[in-house]
């Protein structure tokens, strides 16, 4: 950008905003966020436990009627206000500021749980390289 083409807001110079190179890249990033690791390992179990194909109907119904609109609302308000969720919910309604903070708490909890699952997977991967395998025998005193 030339000197005369710089974007300004009042007397403050704005930095260049990043852009997605194409719509497919944005779609894949959003889909990865929505689906997440939890649905990959938990969804088949939930389908089996709650009735198989009959579980898919309410799951898809709630995802389409609740999940997608709330996700789009969050993206649109965040892009429009250029603020973090805790701040923009607080500006919309001071009582709703907790929604943004709740999102942070859920993200922290999810990160801790998924790191624990990845640690288990890594532990069993490394344990499977030993010989003999640790789970081939049960040599504890309390076993019968």
Spatial separation of the C-alpha atoms in residues 31 and 56, rounded to whole Å: 18
Spatial separation of the C-alpha atoms in residues 43 and 49, rounded to whole Å: 10
Structural tokens at position 142: 């309390």
Structural tokens at position 68: 């997608």
Cβ within 8 Å of residue 114, ≥6 positions away: 37, 38
Structural tokens at position 11: 């007397």
Residue 100, marked binder: no
Cβ within 8 Å of residue 92, ≥6 positions away: 77
Spatial separation of the C-alpha atoms in residues 96 and 74, rounded to whole Å: 13
Residue 36, marked binder: no
Binding residues for Na(+): 32, 39
Binding residues: 32, 39
């Amino acid at each position: 950008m030339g000197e005369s083409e710089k974007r300004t807001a009042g007397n403050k110079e704005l930095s260049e905003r990043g852009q997605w190179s194409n719509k497919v890249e944005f779609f894949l990033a959003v889909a990865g966020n929505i689906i997440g690791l939890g649905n990959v390992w938990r969804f088949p179990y939930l389908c089996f436990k709650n009735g198989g194909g009959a579980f898919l109907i309410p799951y898809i119904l709630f995802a389409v009627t609740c999940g997608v609109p709330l996700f789009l609302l969050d993206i649109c308000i965040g892009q429009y206000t250029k603020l973090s969720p805790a701040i923009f919910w607080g500006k919309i309604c001071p009582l709703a500021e907790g929604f943004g903070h709740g999102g942070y708490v859920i993200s922290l909890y999810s990160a801790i749980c998924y790191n624990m699952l990845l640690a288990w997977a890594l532990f069993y991967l490394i344990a499977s390289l030993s010989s003999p395998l640790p789970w081939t025998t049960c040599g504890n005193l309390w076993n019968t």
